[in-house]
Amino acid sequence: MENREIINIIKNDNKFSTEIANKLKAELENNGYKVSDEYNKDAVLNISVGGDGSFLRSLRINDFPDIPIIGVNTGSLGFYPELSPKDINSFVKDYCSGNYTINKLYLLQCEIFRQNTSETIFALNDIAMKGDKTKTIHLDIFIDYNHLQTISGDGVIISTPMGSSAYNYSVGGSIVYPSLNTLQLTPIAPLNSKAYRCLNSGIVVPPELHITVVPEYKYLEDVIFSVDGEEFNYERITHANFFVSKKHVNMLTLGSFNYWKVIKEKFI
Ligand code: NAP
Ligand code: MN
Indicate which atom in ligand 1 lies nearest the CA of residue 157: 34
**What does the pLDDT read at residue 115?**
87
The whole-angstrom separation of Cα 224 and Cα 230 is 10
| Residue 182 structural domain | 107-246
* Reported confidence tier of residue 44, pLDDT bands at 50, 70, 90: very high
Asked if 124 and 78 sit in the same domain, the reply is no
Catalytic residue of the set 13, 42, 52, 228: 52
Asked if residue 227 is part of any domain, the answer here is: yes
Distance 159 CA to ligand 1 centre (A): 12
**What does the pLDDT read at residue 267?**
86
Asked if residue 202 is part of any domain, the answer here is: yes
* pLDDT at 256 > cutoff 80: no
* Reported confidence tier of residue 236, pLDDT bands at 50, 70, 90: confident
The whole-angstrom separation of Cα 92 and Cα 99 is 10
Asked whether 88 and 230 are in contact (CB, 8 A), the reply is no
What backbone phi and psi angles, to 5 degrees, belong to 113? -110, 135
Asked if residue 265 is part of any domain, the answer here is: no
Asked whether 112 and 119 are in contact (CB, 8 A), the reply is yes
* pLDDT at 1 > cutoff 60: no
* Strand 183-188 versus strand 222-227 pairing type: unpaired
Asked if 114 and 241 sit in the same domain, the reply is yes
* Reported confidence tier of residue 215, pLDDT bands at 50, 70, 90: very high
Asked if 111 and 95 sit in the same domain, the reply is no
Angle, CA 181 vertex, CA 131 and CA 244 arms, to 5°:
50
Asked if residue 1 is part of any domain, the answer here is: no
What backbone phi and psi angles, to 5 degrees, belong to 25? -60, -45
Is 52 designated active site?
yes
Is the beta carbon of 78 within 6 A of some atom in ligand 1? yes
Spatial neighbors of 96 by CB under 8 A, at least 6 apart, are 31
Displacement of CA 255 from its chain's centroid (Å):
23
Closest CA to 37 of 22, 53, 27: 22
Residues linked to residue 234 through DSSP beta bridges, in sequence order: 223
Rg (Cα) of the chain, in Å, rounded?
20
Asked if 239 and 115 sit in the same domain, the reply is yes
* Reported confidence tier of residue 7, pLDDT bands at 50, 70, 90: very high
Three-state DSSP class for residue 265: helix
Asked if 242 and 122 sit in the same domain, the reply is yes
**What does the pLDDT read at residue 257?**
77
* Reported confidence tier of residue 255, pLDDT bands at 50, 70, 90: confident
Asked if residue 201 is part of any domain, the answer here is: yes
What are 89-112's pLDDT values in tens digits?
Answer: 999 999 999 999 999 999 999 999
Distance 266 CA to ligand 2 centre (A): 14
Asked if 134 and 217 sit in the same domain, the reply is yes
**What does the pLDDT read at residue 100?**
96
* Reported confidence tier of residue 37, pLDDT bands at 50, 70, 90: confident
Q: How many domains does the chain have?
A: 2
CATH of the domain at 16: 3.40.50.10330
Asked if 112 and 242 sit in the same domain, the reply is yes
Question: How far apart, in Å, are the Cα atoms of 229 and each of 123, 186, 232, 250?
Answer: 10, 16, 10, 21
CATH of the domain at 222: 2.60.200.30
Domain final residue pick, 99, 117, 132: 99
**What does the pLDDT read at residue 227?**
98
Domain final residue pick, 99, 122, 154: 99
The whole-angstrom separation of Cα 139 and Cα 211 is 12
Asked if residue 254 is part of any domain, the answer here is: no
Q: What DSSP character marks residue 175?
A: P
Asked if 137 and 94 sit in the same domain, the reply is no
Asked if 119 and 242 sit in the same domain, the reply is yes
Is the beta carbon of 193 within 6 A of some atom in ligand 1? no
Asked if residue 218 is part of any domain, the answer here is: yes
Asked if 33 and 135 sit in the same domain, the reply is no
Asked if 148 and 189 sit in the same domain, the reply is yes
Is the beta carbon of 112 within 6 A of some atom in ligand 1? no
Is the beta carbon of 82 within 6 A of some atom in ligand 1? no
Choose the residue to mutate in 77, 126, 259 for probing ligand 1, maximizing ligand atoms within 8 Å of C-beta. 77
Domain final residue pick, 74, 99, 124: 99
Total-model pTM: 0.96
Asked if residue 257 is part of any domain, the answer here is: no
Q: Across the chain, what does the average pLDDT equal?
A: 94
Is the beta carbon of 95 within 6 A of some atom in ligand 1? no
Asked if 75 and 197 sit in the same domain, the reply is no
Indicate which atom in ligand 1 lies nearest the CA of residue 76: 46
How many Cβ atoms are within 10 Å of 239's Cβ, its own excluded? 16
**What does the pLDDT read at residue 258?**
86
